[in-house]
Amino acid sequence: MSVRKPLPRWADLILIPALNLTLAFLVSGLVVLIIGESPLEAVQILLFGAFGYGEGLGYTLHFATNFVFAGLAFSIASHAGQFNIGAEGQAYIAGLGAILVALFLDQTHWLIVMPLAMLAAGALGGFWGFVPGYLAAKRGSHVVITTIMFNFIAASIMVYLLNNVLKEPSNMAPESASVVNAGKMPQLREFWDFFGFAPVNVMLFVAIAALIFTYILLWRTELGYKIRTLGKNPDAAHYAGISNSAIVMISMTIAGAMAAMIALNEVLGVQNRLVLDFVFGYGFVGIAVGLMGRNHPIGIALAAILFGALYQGGQELAFMMPAVTREMIVVIQALVILFTGAMEGLFRGPLETIFGLIEFSKNSDAETEKDQHKDSKE
């Protein structure tokens, strides 16, 4: 025991992420400095690239959409005490459902395609989450192991399907046929020129809805109560008559279905066809988004925008500042993930001590006053 106390909410939610982020940028700045460029200029380019003009903002929001789904896929499972690192595979396999529905219904209307594609993708992604959930609940396998294995299985299945089943004979590349009409998600640029060529599409609103849905699910429903009870204290959940195995399976399924929405955003929003590796690591970044966002929808939204900005601004930076190569951008992104995700607790200990000391000095002041008061009374 030492002079420590749990942090106040605001410090936990705002101060710690801010400090982590600052540190990440300081170290990134050093990296930029080492290769002989100005960090300040780099930040300027990055920020302008991400938010400064319509097309950049559009890309940022497009990436953020992916990160919201991936972050929710991690967080919902996390609330049930499961470490879901399988959003990558869940989204990948879901691409199959999205494209098949879209191709089949390409000649109808997007309002028909979209919900059905969401259902099909959600079912496949959900199944890809359900199986590790089932194995964890009934067989005691650890979801970290099973979800990562399911990422590989998904990748292999998709390679096989794209090469042997979905590829059109006339096409040399391992990709499916393209959707041309109703299968495409409506792009926001069709309504606002402002977004230039950015692929931000209607899935952005689905992402916002998913955030709200998650909040209601976790904090306003009986199921959410059970999920949170299980995640915080499995023994108490058992005591409360909550079926631990059912909740694990349900939450993993919902998580998989969340990840599946990435497929619509990418396959039907950008590529218009199923291609290899369209998930592109978004699922893994979702872990950092979830951690940084404290598994809360508002936090996830903010973290998703941050990572979206890093992706988009980073590309801009690589373009404008040739010394900062594509690889350097990955380094900077990795630093942010490192400091906000993996080393999230870096400042926690010292801060708790500082807050403890502040509280302590306040209390002892009050106490001496009380003592004096007592003395004078005597």
Partner 1 sequence: MTENSPNIQQRPKTAAVGDVAIELVGINKHFGPVHANKDIDLKIRRGTVHGIVGENGAGKTTLMSILYGFYTADSGQILVDGKPVKINDSSHALELGIGMVHQHFMLVDNFTVLENVILGAEDSPLLKTSLAKARSVLAQLATDYELEVDPDALIEDLSVGGQQRVEILKALYRGAQTLILDEPTGVLTPSEADHLFKVLETLRAQGKTIILITHKLREIMAITDDVSVMRQGAMVKTLITKNTDPAELAELMVGRRVLLRVEKGEANPGDVLLSVRDLEVKDDMGVLRVKGVDIDVRAGEIVGIAGVAGNGQSDLLEAVTGMRQASAGKIQIKGKDLRFSGDAGGALVRKLGLAHVPEDRQEAGLVIEFEQWENAILGYQDDDKYGQGVFLSIAAARAEANEHIKKYDIRPANNRLKTANFSGGNQQKIVLAREMSSNPDVLVIGQPTRGVDIGAIEFIHNQIIAMRDAGKAVLLVSVELDEIRSLSDRILVMFDGHIVGEADPATATESELGLLMAGIEDQSATKPENNKERTK
User: Which residues contact partner 1 by CB under 8 A?
Assistant: 1-5, 220-226, 228-229, 232-233, 235-236, 238-245, 356, 359-360, 363-364, 367
The upper half-sphere exposure of residue 75, i.e. CA atoms within 13 Å in the direction of its Cβ, equals: 33
- Give the tokens for residue 51: 């938010």
CB nearer to partner 1: give 283 or 297. 297
Shortest spacing between CB 364 and partner 1, in angstroms: 7
**Which amino acid, one-letter code, is at 234?**
P
CB nearer to partner 1: give 166 or 351. 351
Bridge partners (DSSP) of residue 201 are 187
- Are 197 and 188 a contacting pair, CB within 8 Å? no
- Are 369 and 46 a contacting pair, CB within 8 Å? no
CB nearer to partner 1: give 228 or 273. 228
How far apart, in Å, do the first and last CA atoms of the chain sit? 36
- Are 268 and 100 a contacting pair, CB within 8 Å? no
Shortest spacing between CB 293 and partner 1, in angstroms: 18
CB nearer to partner 1: give 220 or 326. 220
- Are 154 and 93 a contacting pair, CB within 8 Å? yes
Residue in 13, 61, 20 with CA at minimum distance from that of residue 296? 13
Residue in 133, 68, 61 with CA at minimum distance from that of residue 286? 68
**Which amino acid, one-letter code, is at 183?**
G
Cα–Cα distance between 317 and 222 in angstroms, integer?
Answer: 47
- Give the tokens for residue 296: 């809360």
CB nearer to partner 1: give 46 or 258. 258
Give 10: exposed, middle or buried? Use CB within 10 Å, 0-12, 13-18, 19+: exposed
Bridge partners (DSSP) of residue 187 are 201
Cα–Cα distance between 88 and 256 in angstroms, integer?
Answer: 10
Shortest spacing between CB 135 and partner 1, in angstroms: 16
- Are 270 and 264 a contacting pair, CB within 8 Å? no
Shortest spacing between CB 273 and partner 1, in angstroms: 38
